[in-house]
Structure 1
């Protein structure tokens, strides 16, 4: 990948609202679902989407939030997966036609078994039992669900129950459910232990996983299926695949498909979208770990310059598809893992992934100087990454800054030094560093 680097110092803290270019231009009418999105779980970039912010019934994809909360509490030491619970009267609220483990009031069951029932069997009695254990009652747990959704930036989501039962004000979107999926795989990866299981049995009740892609693709390890008449057939799918890049040896994608016509169709569509994205996009290190971006002048301190550098490698997802041709998902050959198109000679031919990408990076300094004393998290720089002159990713660089104010004698020395600088025209200024690949 070739980078053209542009470094710009700006004096404003304001970052305008940003719209990102789709990395893959997929014809919406070629995807047999009401709404869908493809998300890279490592960069957080949207690869392609359609109707992704349209509110729809999430059905049992709701249970991803239940599992996310339970697993977070386990990680925090508030809950133990080996803890044995006694099923309360809440299990009687589950109707005969709902998916369930057939728990009886007074029955003993572990948190681990309930998680398996929740994720693999999509059991509504597992959902309400876990909700009651975590928060004491269902309404308090639903409040927690909505708090967690807000924290994840799920702006178009509202939950009314933990099981995903259709209710007037129980809704989400493909984009929000992809955000939740990304949080699940990145923050509570133990979820995948359950979601990759092909089946689960409890008290002679056997259930085969309804995620049909698990049988087709060994790289797939989750996440959740859902169905109601209001929702149609929903699927949140994820896979983790090896790459040929030593710096990024694995790559994880998330696909959310809402409102498909059948369980088979949702699996087919989600798998095609995922394979398409793996073929025609890739992840690259845009900024290295501890990369020095700039030095900022410091006022009223013995520290002259403050170094602005990254805390970890910053990944960008780029397109490897020739943008001259839109993508008809029906023309994606699963066997060859290529889009097959007639490019003008009347013969179908495969569209090969581009060998390299042209990416342009702007680094804008958002805080041009630091004034002591200072002890706060400060927004320092905004990195904007463009491909084909279209913005594809923005990275905010911020850091905890602790700078002590100079004492009276040090201030006198600093004043004399600044006076000398005035006559020599060498006062400290922002110093920018090129991003070397």
Structure 2
């Protein structure tokens, strides 16, 4: 080992958000849907949910996974939007009553057109054509879909086909589909270039987007509708709206509604949940960029103290709903975006959102020291974030570290320094820095 070879190399730095209970509860009887969830993709927190982990038929919301895989492969350079492919007999598996682009074998089409047909038209022939092009066969692509779902943490999902056809082993949940939507908006935002389009025409076949909120709300830019008799009317919805905060001037939310009774009702419910969540929650930067969290002593290395420091800010979603009772959406005014409350004398008033939130953080060190040599992923700390003494998020901080061991000469030198040191013994103890 070379003299003074103790080096610290930081390959990457991870902040993993662990979400807890939803911020507030909505009375299930006040919304006519079987399941729903509202997710903030910036913080990863669930704002409100109902039956969000109950397995249901996802219908054409399945196609979000097809698009996610296709767009990831485009980013990786494996395929190109401008690539022209020839439709194969696989399109013949699509039945006459299914949504389709009416592709015929030997017909040529670009991947860009297939993505538009998949997302806007909800075309099943586009789904199987993309599946075959990407993985060589539909079964191989379905296997890829389930692999991607596992990586994303979609624990209650199993795909059996790329189009969303009802099958016994084809299911997902509102929560899992929101996680997929989060991946789409965060990792493959080109998806929104398709999902915000209100119509698409291919080969003289015109289709108007079935997400009616695209016309009603200019902030809405996706994501996907779905319907089968088994599933009911499903909708994955997202919007991006400006805020009044200078440090976070834009905010995106995701809503998934499953099992509504009509296309109109799924849109109404999703829009209510969207507006409620924007009005009564907000995002805050809980942990700043390059914020020093702690210092850990390092044993058997010339590096004395390792600085546990963030490499990016961490966002937390807080509640602005100033009440303890469950929210009745029948009391929500979708025009003013306010809950209407009635006092003991029968007078009504709008319930205004809180202007200030009470949050605090506790740092839990997962190790009190580091001992060289180290060449592994190391979990360093958990930061627990509370609002009104209620745990709303836990941030796990881990790092990929390499710390080389000190040489024998360095070790002897360090021993002499410690032997004749008159400093406080606490200098080599772990230290936590205040975050609030």
Fold shared, TM-score > 0.5 on shorter chain:
yes
Q: 1:367 to 1:426 in 2, by over 3 A?
A: closer
- Shifted more, 54-63 versus 333-342: the winner is 333-342
Asked if structure 2 preserves the Cα contact closer than 8 Å seen for 1:22 and 1:46, the reply is yes
Matched position secondary structure for 1:133: helix
Aligned pair in 2 of structure 1 residues 424, 222: CA closer, same or farther (>3 Å)? closer
User: Alpha-carbon deviation of 1:341?
Assistant: 1.4
Distance 1:42 1:424 in 2: 43
Q: Deviation string for 1:182-221 (max 9, x for gaps)?
A: 0000000000000000000011110000001111100000
Change (3 A) 1:426 1:93: closer
| Paired position in structure 1 for 2:428 | 428
The 2-side partners of 1:137 and 1:425 are apart by 66
Query: Conserved in 2, the CA contact under 8 Å of 1:20 and 1:390?
Result: no
1:25–1:323 Cα contact (<8 Å) kept = no
- 2:33·2:257 contact (CA, 8 Å) conserved in 1? yes
Alpha-carbon distance in structure 1 between the residues aligned to 2:365 and 2:423: 27
Q: Distance in 1 between matches of 2:130 and 2:101?
A: 13
Mark the runs of 5 or more structure 2 residues left unpaired by the alignment.
1-17
In structure 2, the residue corresponding to 1:120 is in which secondary structure?
helix
Which residue in the other structure is 1:147 paired with? 147
Distance in 1 separating the partners of 2:89 and 2:21: 51
Matches within 5 A, 1:37-436: 37-420=37-420, 425-426=425-426, 428-436=428-436
Distance 1:74 1:366 in 2: 39
Shift of 1:345: 2.7
Q: 2:12 aligns to what?
A: none
Q: Secondary structure at the match of 1:129?
A: helix
Q: CA deviation at 1:422?
A: 9.8
State the shift of 1:343 in Å: 3.3
Which stretch shows the higher mean deviation, 377-386 or 48-57?
Answer: 377-386
Separation (CA, whole Å) in 1 of partners of 2:245 and 2:124: 42
Assess if the C-alpha contact under 8 Å between 2:119 and 2:194 holds in 1. Answer: yes
8 Å CA contact 2:19, 2:45 repeated in 1: no
Question: C-alpha displacement at 1:423, in angstroms?
Answer: 9.8
Aligned mates of 2:96, 2:424 — CA distance in 1 = 85
SS of corresponding position for 2:121: coil
CA RMSD in angstroms comes to 1.3
Contact in 2 for aligned 1:342/1:348 (Cα 8 Å):
yes
Rounded to whole Å, the distance in 2 between the matches of 1:316 and 1:427 is: 33
Mapped to 2, the partners of 1:357 and 1:192 lie a distance apart of 32
Displacement of 1:401: 1.7
How far did 1:426 drift? Answer: 4.3
The secondary structure found in structure 1 opposite 2:428 is coil
The aligned residue for residue 8 of structure 2 is none
- How far is the alpha carbon of 1:108 from its aligned partner? 0.4
Give me the whole-angstrom Cα distance separating, in 2, the residues matched to 1:19 and 1:193: 29
Q: Answer yes or no: is the 8 Å Cα contact 1:421–1:427 preserved in 2.
A: no
Do the aligned partners of 1:142 and 1:160 also contact (CA within 8 Å) in 2?
yes
Return 107-116 or 422-431, whichever deviates more. 422-431
Counterpart-to-counterpart distance in 1, 2:51 and 2:424: 60
| Cα distance in 1, alignment partners of residues 425 and 109 from structure 2 | 76
Provide the rounded CA distance (Å) in 2 between the counterparts of 1:19 and 1:358: 18
Q: Is the 8 A contact 2:22 2:45 kept in 1?
A: no
CA distance in 2 between partners of 1:427 and 1:318 (Å): 37
TM-score, normalised by the number of residues in structure 2: 0.94
Partner of 2:26: 26
Displacement of 1:280: 0.1
Match of 1:15 in 2: none
> In 2, are the aligned partners of 1:381 and 1:397 still within 8 Å (CA)?
yes
Q: How far apart, in 2, do the equivalents of 1:139 and 1:21 lie?
A: 37
C-alpha separation in 1, matches of 2:426 and 2:142: 60
Provide the residue aligned with 2:10 in structure 1. Answer: none
- Give the structure 2 partner of residue 10 of structure 1: none
Q: Secondary structure of the equivalent of 1:312?
A: coil
**Structure 1 residues without counterparts, runs of 5 or longer:** 1-17
What is the CA–CA distance in structure 1 between the aligned matches of 2:424 and 2:295, rounded to whole Å? 21
Query: What displacement does 1:360 show?
Result: 1.7
